[in-house]
Amino acid sequence: MKRIAVYPGSFDPVTYGHVDLIRRATALFDHLIVAVTTNPGKLMSFSFPVEERLAMLRESLRGERRVTVEAFHGLLVKYLKTRKARIIIRGLRAISDFEYEFQMTLMNRHLASQVETVFLMPDERYTYLSSTLVKEIARLGGRVTAFVPPPVLKRLLKNS
């Protein structure tokens, strides 16, 4: 049986923190699906449309065998079932991530007890990095070269 893991998120846009986690996950599992959410949360609105978020991920992960990138909407545990996957990958940067992730993990476990969530920590260079912060710095004219892959940089510069 192939071990398939799903890494869900907004990836709005993908950063080197996400890429770091993707590399760690591919070392542990046979196949990784990076699943880009199209459901905006109540207070959330995306900066990049889903097609752009997918394109930036695909261009940034070119050459990563065993990784596929796709969009999903609806309940994550239902989506996992359609992909015959039982592992969710999430990242933990700081304590501040913990409460939300804790709540989501236990809720997903309630909804689908066979699903396990695995948390990975990025390289310390990326522990303070978020897509929101990167967009804000880029918008204000700061350098984000160290934080995002070239396909993202190109689009951020175009938009700023």
Catalytic site includes residue 42: yes
Using rule CB under 6 A, residue 97 touches ligand ADP: yes
Residue with tokens 């892959």: 149
Nearer to ligand ADP, 4 or 148 (CB): 148
Site residues for ligand ADP, window 118-137 (CB under 6 A)?
A: 122, 126, 129-131
Using rule CB under 6 A, residue 87 touches ligand ADP: no
C-alpha span between 51 and 106 (Å, rounded): 30
- DSSP-assigned beta bridge partners for residue 67: 32
Active-site residue, selected from the candidate residues 42, 84, 143, 158: 42
Site residues for ligand ADP, window 3-22 (CB under 6 A)?
A: 9-11, 15, 17-18, 21
Helix (H, G, I), strand (E, B) or coil at 154: helix
Nearer to ligand ADP, 68 or 130 (CB): 130
User: For residue 131, what are its two tokens?
Assistant: 């897509």
Give the DSSP letter of residue 130.
-
Strand order across the beta sheet in which 67-72 lies: 67-72, 31-37, 4-9, 87-91, 116-120
Residues near ligand ADP (CB under 6 A) are 9-11, 15, 17-18, 21, 90-91, 93, 97, 122, 126, 129-131
